[in-house]
Chains A and B, each alone.
Chain A
């Protein structure tokens, strides 16, 4: 297993590096073919009163009139040695800009994930064990409801209700505990839907299995059955879904950050896209690529821990989960 694992890990690592470098180049190409750049945009603002000659002179002094390939190579070669360069918009180092905003996004994304998981488990538990008269069936509708309400709507409702009406938090202090909690709720609700959906489907599947019937026949309580016997086998596909939702956490945090006025990666991206701040965009896209690659790797490495049947033997490239019995349920749930 060890040598197979090493080959596997090495392959994945090379793939990851290639993905990150391609993401960097791709961002450059996409942003370069758009007209304009942050420096010219500022100079062209009629308030600034620059003449065409002055604009040409400043652009030339900044090296922005060089051929695109030359510019790509100069930025790519410094990226290779770990230099993310300077923001064209603010003239500050890109690494500093990212370091300033990253903690806020990580806190929000993590809190959002916790909210999503809690909600998903509560809903899934409710659909199995809540008495019918308390709306067991109704709970099954929650995931579709959560998915169909965009998170900015949830965010605005929460802000108006808890921020302005009840005064639980001050809207202009978005980093306070309560503001962060409500932002996490807005972010977590749509994501909980996907996790809950998969969890419910798998709970239904596992509950029909013989071992569950045996456990019940031994007189095991509902809660014990849920926590000790059903939750673990059902959570295998949930790990896949969580890995997939990392993307949504990043994307969703962009919207949530804007609505709640938080300063994070999302708002940095928003500002950089609107001003075509290429070095920052390249760095953020590369960072996102790193996050995706790492998260997927972690997800793959978690399977053997959850399911002893999954082993990294001779066929490392294949997703271990596809060998699993419940795969049809999983893929259906994931694609739905």
Chain B
């Protein structure tokens, strides 16, 4: 019976032979697999820290991770470049009525989805409808940022779509170039949520198609050879150059960067700002494209004392040294805020003078407001300390470091700053605009059209009431109404300028820096990458040299 179980026997000699054989095999393998140039020049590997949660197009289109894939698999009606300039794509031209309540889109003809369905007017109507309403019972959400004033759309003929709104909606046209507005085959849209969640069953009209994918692992895209309707703005309309793009999930940041450094991959997404300088020195391309949106900053709760006092808010505005944030936490790739919206947004105006660091002014304002510096350096009034709680934004990795720096800067003026860092779930539950214990809400938010800003800041039309002003500030409400009803960009521009000046002067919004939310560290072999208005890298125009 013993023999049945252990018929082999070990001896020292045999063990030694086996060990040396193993060692030799390892050596051979090491030599055999040493770095060699691969012949497949047209393929790139993009290392990403997550591939998001779901692939249901409506639910995932805004999420920063899936957007990389959607950008290659799907097209949009319009193209918005890094400067917010809108140009034709699937829609060749468009018209609107004077009140901006009716829009007519003229589509390119001959465009098809990769399942063979043609991208015609009825397909566009199906997309507009699901963006606006979703199918909530099934778990398909509406696109949160799609204009809520949408009424309906009609297919006039195969290449003409007419879109109707309940109220003037100047923001509609730029929204069509936003990351949520991806065109999906009507056949896919008709599928139940479970099928839409399977990426291999989703078809777009983009320059790449999904070859294979595994959840939480990778997505491999291959070139669509008959693609011929790219956006003219990127200087190319035919098929892409690279044969394939593989998005591979590597959650360890250091592994992503090291893999690109060792030549095992071509692009590492979301490297830390601290690593960028050394990567640049080693010859890697670093891209820090800025998106169109709000700058990173604090929306102040004007209901919560002492921030109901304009002088305290203005003291806060002058008490932050923004240059020091860039010097300490970031690299020179980051830019100073010049308004509460990013400087590349059309309609953004330069208000740097209102954001200058001036601690003397800050101290003077606090003195005037009755906050007296105590022996410990902290100001008090009526027995209460001048305090500020900062809730570090869990969606921005550098947020806490900036909060710590601001805490030092404000500490010198007499503030007592508490920093509260929550995980994403707790943050979502506890930290809200105008919340009872939230004097300042840290904003990171993209948008494509500055016209939507005023609506978000106030409480009109389900606005988010960022400063908890409700209906108390007539000036901002008047500006909001005028901006919302503006029928042209020319009428709107001076109003937007006034809004920016007013919000900053009042200390409603305290900008920190312009935001870079997507950082790409890329092999120098890859060239010709374009970045769109929401800072996604597109490899449609890219090539790779050996």
User: Which residues does A use to contact B, with CB under 8 Å?
Assistant: 34-36, 38-54, 57-58, 61-62, 86, 89-93, 97, 100-101, 122, 125, 129, 159-160, 164, 166-172, 178, 221, 223-224, 226-228, 231-232, 258-259, 261, 263, 267-268, 271, 275-276
Contacts and interface: CB of A to CB of B under 8 A. Distances in A.
A258 B251 contact: yes
Given A168-B29, A172-B45, 18 more contacts: A35-B429, A36-B429, A41-B425, A48-B145, A49-B62, A50-B141, A58-B136, A61-B139, A89-B53, A91-B56, A92-B194, A93-B194, A171-B258, A172-B47, A221-B11, A228-B9, A261-B250, A261-B251
Contacts of B63: 42, 45, 47
Nearest to B146: A49
Contact of A92 (B29, B34, B59, B197): B197
B215 A92 contact: yes
Contact of B217 (A52, A258, A263): A263
A168 B139 CA distance: 45
Contacts of B194: 86, 91-93
B249 interface: yes
B2 A228 contact: yes
Interface stretch (B74-82, B202-210, B442-450): B442-450
Contacts of B6: 227-228, 231-232
B375 interface: no
Q: Please report whether the interface of chain B is mostly helix, strand, loop or mixed according to DSSP.
A: loop
A103 B10 CA distance: 33
Nearest to B452: A49
A178 B12 contact: no
Contacts of A42: 53, 59, 63
A46 B10 contact: no
Nearest to B430: A35
Nearest to B36: A167
Given A48-B144, A58-B141, A35 B55 contact: no
B216 A267 contact: yes
Given A38-B53, A57-B136, A129 B259 contact: no
Given A45-B395, A91-B197, A171-B255, A261 B249 contact: yes
Contacts of A125: 10, 15
Nearest to B6: A227
Contact of B255 (A51, A54, A129, A261): A261
A70 to B, nearest CB: 17
Given A42-B53, A100-B215, A227 B10 contact: yes
B352 interface: no
B132 to A, nearest CB: 12
B35 interface: yes
Contact of B248 (A50, A164, A172, A231): A172
B255 A159 contact: yes
Nearest to B134: A58
B468 to A, nearest CB: 14
Given A36-B428, A223-B10, A169 B33 contact: yes
B426 interface: yes
Contacts of A224: 9
Nearest to A226: B10
Given A91-B56, A164-B258, A172 B141 contact: no
25 contacts: A35-B425, A36-B426, A38-B53, A40-B428, A45-B63, A45-B428, A47-B62, A47-B63, A47-B64, A48-B145, A53-B462, A54-B462, A58-B141, A61-B139, A91-B193, A91-B194, A91-B196, A160-B258, A168-B29, A171-B250, A172-B250, A227-B10, A228-B6, A267-B216, A271-B216
A125 B255 CA distance: 38
Contacts of A40: 428
Contacts of A261: 249-252, 255
Chain B CB count within 10 A is highest, among A40, A166, A178, for: A166
A90 B53 contact: yes
A212 B194 CA distance: 64
B247 to A, nearest CB: 11
Contacts of B64: 47
Contacts of A38: 53
Contacts of B222: none
A271 B443 CA distance: 26
B464 interface: yes
Interface in B259-279: 259, 262, 264-265
